[in-house]
Structure 1
């Protein structure tokens, strides 16, 4: 029997007990195959959790200034761009003892080894009986298998663990490599035959506008990327945007302006909504009526905790108790009244008790209310008060958050500010940056390529929107308090890379537009005070102000 047949026989779901050639023996479940399938399921579960935690499905798109070098000018530009990304991934597929976090082989080896060694313990301790019963119920529907219990000894042979580890390495390498190659393939430039992807359409500009108006984030992001490439590298397509004014939904520039400004202005809208959440709407008349009926029903259903109020003459002397039970009740009541109305325990008037019982009761009451006992009860009262319980819970909560197990439960500053500024559940980082770059590039190019002068009318709106957005982001980043679960917060954590990238792109766009339109600020309707704020936000100094004509 060769090696392949041995592995197949050992890992088949059914088989003979010892010898596969004995026809007289009945089939029974092969627990080694059940264990192997449980191992692959556990390996897939671990890989899925790591994939989500490390965000392996993130598309690393180029962020920054777009120039002519961003487009491949050779006849095989698409293939060259893909191969360049693959070349960047090759170092991750090498064994790097210095940086094992980025080394895919080391991650695969350590992760597979950990699962291979822990699966026998997890399988035997928690899941063996349940998995066996599940496999037996499924196998009985397909084969003639007797309903026998599993053996006392689990099938934890070294050879089986070796087979599992080897197969796990191969599967893990397939998962990691396919994910990396697919990411490199998808994150290519929207370029085809050295032209924008929409150039193959009968209406290239209309196709681009449809992508910008898309409700889904992925096509919208790639449409913004293509627009950024068009404004920087394709003058013919850029001029076509300026001259396309006969569309039913408006000129092409107007639609691009509205879509890109919506991407940028949404940052200020999210910040304002976070700082000033909308007040809850008042309940309707039907909801009020329903709440009143529920409150009335709750009041009527409350149980009675005391005897009914006495009716008749309440100031008359109560009748003398006739039975022994009533006498005891009256004695206990008089005892409580006398203690509450007395100035010291020694003046208690305790009827229906013998002198010895009275003395013992008085001495016990003195011991019960001694200073030490009172101090003890006061401490217990403080500890079990709402404030004390809340303080104890907060102390244990902070200890848990500072530990390694509390890391997933922390709401860090970078996560909060990225959620507000860049949106959720998917980040709008790249669509926002490309919108900023495209509008700034189109505004500057309109000085020479806009035959109708439509873009110059919207330049003040662009400058004001860029300025207000940059101010809102900087103020929000500076004044946002850390979350109470962010126990390791430092002031340096306020510098979030993605958020600072958006602010820097806004400032670069402002500087470029001020440099291009600095001599026409009065004609554009920009006041001197506004330009002072713009210069301060954009970081334009006195030298740049002199070059731009003293604005």
Structure 2
């Protein structure tokens, strides 16, 4: 390890790791595409129906392209943490018209179209899915409506899948929020965690059921929409486009869909398989991307010449996805890897500050940010002390001042006596106007009185309109249709505690876990004894954060429209899972720190009052804090 060397960027280690996981997920997706390709083929031929070097292999490669489109979409749009908004309507208005929304629908539509073309091109003439149909000998070639209707249903399926993708936020990647441990457990998290391949196998049946349900709903909705007058509109544009490719008559009506039942069965089978492929891709991406940042059971930055320097670059990253993975790796290092943890204490000559000092400052900054969010929620006029009390730089005097400073007001030039007749007449008129005009005279004019009365009527009408609007809006919120506009105690508290626009609960808990582990293990592993300088500040920040969470939760009031919270018993209304998780993490961390440094805190500069306050935060449960 070379602390003085130029540390490589964190992405140089994260990106190859993600590529490896992407390749693993793609491999199992390719296997699923192979089974779908065998199903699409001619099952009468025992050998060529499944032999990879042949039609089955070509079809497998083509079917992987629709899956690859969704993979590209996921790579481009994934984010860490769930969306945090106050109401469902805010979520809808904030995310509906974004570029990512249209890109999601477009990618699924492109994927569905390519899948449909692969299926149609492989069908025989008996399925009647050709572009045109040969009529009688004396008739011209007819445009076939059956493949057009089948393509339409697949596009509707793509739109439905895109809506589900956006509604359930498939772009979300969950990174575990590690908590400080009281005792070392026998099995490590790596042994307990289920492998992605096993999770994919277990989820095949539920995914198949959901895919069949989505295909069924799409068939019903798509067929209804198609035959409710839109059939002829679609057909007209389709026919105009087709005339550029083949020789057709000037006008034509839809040729019909019989036999209809075989066409429906085709869509139900292939539509379900396509929906299953999409769900498989999304689940595989989530499982593999959210794996621990390890390479050969070691942190991914272990290959760097300056591992801790590269990790610090990741902790300081402006991209939330990179930063979240770096915090996760740091928490894992301080929890499992003894030798690597010792290097954090020992690197004292790093540029800017020692490694442990930089790590502590970065982690404490995340917890202080939590405290700032709560302070702003409790008092909207709150501003951090550092921002409000910035020292102004003193002026530098290079030469002695020999003249009075310039005035800030208007500079009035010297007057001059009028000379011509017009100038004298203008001067006389101006003097008369200045003498006989004043603001009081203008206010007493009739025009000003009428204007004042009009303003009063306008403000009164605005207040009445606002009252009527509030009344109707309250009735709407109370009705079943008002669910998107209802306030939610859980949403509001989660937004304040875990941050926005996406939850940062993993950053918070992993930062707390890191500080706790570094503090506890520093007693035996910090050879230079320097980390103890950070312990008092860690205790103070943890204590302040716990007290602020308790104060904020106690101040929360359940809105009358929050029917979900009001339906719960009164004692459980303020039990919010996300808030409880953050508070529990802080309490567990503070408890371990106090257990390790309790007898030394007084000699480290902490007062007896601060120590007692920290112990109260540990002993007081969330129920007692809310009741207080």
Give the stretch that moved more between structures: 391-400 or 421-430. Answer: 391-400
CA–CA separation in structure 1 for the residues paired with 2:500 and 2:125: 48
Q: CA 1:236 to 1:279, structure 2 compared with 1: closer, same or farther past 3 Å?
A: closer
Write the mapping of 1:128-277 to structure 2, written as runs, cut at 5 A. 128-151=231-254, 157-277=260-380
Q: CA 1:16 to 1:200, structure 2 compared with 1: closer, same or farther past 3 Å?
A: same
CA–CA separation in structure 1 for the residues paired with 2:345 and 2:565: 49
SS in 2 for 1:488: helix
Q: CA 1:217 to 1:6, structure 2 compared with 1: closer, same or farther past 3 Å?
A: same
Asked whether the 8 Å contact 2:327–2:511 carries over to 1, the reply is yes
- Please point out which of 225, 241, 247 is paired with 1:122: 225
How far apart are residue 471 of structure 1 and its match?
1.5
How far apart are residue 106 of structure 1 and its match?
2.5
Q: CA 1:35 to 1:252, structure 2 compared with 1: closer, same or farther past 3 Å?
A: same
Asked whether the 8 Å contact 1:211–1:219 carries over to 2, the reply is yes
How far apart are residue 520 of structure 1 and its match?
0.5
User: Deviation string for 1:467-495 (max 9, x for gaps)?
Assistant: 11112122212212345643433243421
How far apart are residue 209 of structure 1 and its match?
0.6
Q: CA 1:479 to 1:129, structure 2 compared with 1: closer, same or farther past 3 Å?
A: farther
1:444 correspondence with 2:524: no
How far apart are residue 232 of structure 1 and its match?
1.3
How far apart are residue 448 of structure 1 and its match?
1.8
- Please point out which of 157, 168, 193 is paired with 1:54: 168
1:16 correspondence with 2:133: yes
Q: CA 1:218 to 1:386, structure 2 compared with 1: closer, same or farther past 3 Å?
A: closer
How far apart are residue 534 of structure 1 and its match?
0.7
Asked whether the 8 Å contact 1:16–1:25 carries over to 2, the reply is no
- Please point out which of 103, 112, 123 is paired with 1:5: 123
Q: CA 1:274 to 1:392, structure 2 compared with 1: closer, same or farther past 3 Å?
A: closer
CA–CA separation in structure 1 for the residues paired with 2:259 and 2:232: 15
CA–CA separation in structure 2 for the residues paired with 1:464 and 1:32: 72
- Please point out which of 448, 451, 454 is paired with 2:530: 454
Asked whether the 8 Å contact 2:212–2:268 carries over to 1, the reply is no
Q: CA 1:40 to 1:451, structure 2 compared with 1: closer, same or farther past 3 Å?
A: same
Asked whether the 8 Å contact 2:509–2:582 carries over to 1, the reply is yes
Asked whether the 8 Å contact 2:175–2:324 carries over to 1, the reply is no
Q: CA 1:266 to 1:149, structure 2 compared with 1: closer, same or farther past 3 Å?
A: farther
Write the mapping of 1:21-40 to structure 2, written as runs, cut at 5 A. 26-40=140-154
Asked whether the 8 Å contact 1:414–1:493 carries over to 2, the reply is no
CA–CA separation in structure 1 for the residues paired with 2:492 and 2:233: 42
CA–CA separation in structure 1 for the residues paired with 2:323 and 2:470: 49
CA–CA separation in structure 2 for the residues paired with 1:38 and 1:151: 14
How far apart are residue 452 of structure 1 and its match?
2.7
CA–CA separation in structure 1 for the residues paired with 2:255 and 2:247: 23
CA–CA separation in structure 2 for the residues paired with 1:398 and 1:71: 45
Q: CA 1:493 to 1:15, structure 2 compared with 1: closer, same or farther past 3 Å?
A: farther
Q: CA 1:8 to 1:486, structure 2 compared with 1: closer, same or farther past 3 Å?
A: farther
| Equivalent residue, structure 2, for 1:508 | 588
Asked whether the 8 Å contact 1:31–1:155 carries over to 2, the reply is no
Asked whether the 8 Å contact 2:373–2:496 carries over to 1, the reply is yes
How far apart are residue 183 of structure 1 and its match?
1.4
- Please point out which of 389, 393, 399 is paired with 2:468: 389
| Equivalent residue, structure 2, for 1:296 | none
How far apart are residue 206 of structure 1 and its match?
0.9
Q: CA 1:219 to 1:7, structure 2 compared with 1: closer, same or farther past 3 Å?
A: farther
| Equivalent residue, structure 1, for 2:6 | none
- Please point out which of 588, 608, 623 is paired with 1:528: 608
SS in 2 for 1:242: helix
Q: CA 1:146 to 1:212, structure 2 compared with 1: closer, same or farther past 3 Å?
A: farther
How far apart are residue 210 of structure 1 and its match?
0.9
Runs of 5+ consecutive residues of structure 1 not aligned to the other structure: 95-102, 281-303, 308-383, 542-551
How far apart are residue 219 of structure 1 and its match?
1.4
SS in 2 for 1:163: helix
| Equivalent residue, structure 1, for 2:212 | 109
Asked whether the 8 Å contact 1:511–1:540 carries over to 2, the reply is no
User: Deviation string for 1:276-325 (max 9, x for gaps)?
Assistant: 33599xxxxxxxxxxxxxxxxxxxxxxx9xx9xxxxxxxxxxxxxxxxxx
1:478 correspondence with 2:596: no
CA–CA separation in structure 1 for the residues paired with 2:167 and 2:273: 22
Give the stretch that moved more between structures: 237-246 or 504-513. Answer: 237-246
Runs of 5+ consecutive residues of structure 2 not aligned to the other structure: 1-41, 44-121, 384-446, 451-462, 622-628
Q: CA 1:408 to 1:440, structure 2 compared with 1: closer, same or farther past 3 Å?
A: same
| Equivalent residue, structure 2, for 1:84 | 195
How far apart are residue 459 of structure 1 and its match?
0.8
| Equivalent residue, structure 1, for 2:395 | none
How far apart are residue 231 of structure 1 and its match?
0.6
User: Deviation string for 1:93-125 (max 9, x for gaps)?
Assistant: 33xxxxxxxx33322222221111221111122
CA–CA separation in structure 2 for the residues paired with 1:153 and 1:392: 53
Asked whether the 8 Å contact 1:16–1:26 carries over to 2, the reply is no
CA–CA separation in structure 1 for the residues paired with 2:313 and 2:126: 54
Instruction: Tell me the TM-score normalized by structure 1.
Output: 0.69
How far apart are residue 263 of structure 1 and its match?
1.5
How far apart are residue 410 of structure 1 and its match?
3.0
How far apart are residue 428 of structure 1 and its match?
0.8
CA–CA separation in structure 1 for the residues paired with 2:287 and 2:126: 36
Query: How many matched pairs?
Result: 422
SS in 2 for 1:489: helix
How far apart are residue 516 of structure 1 and its match?
0.5
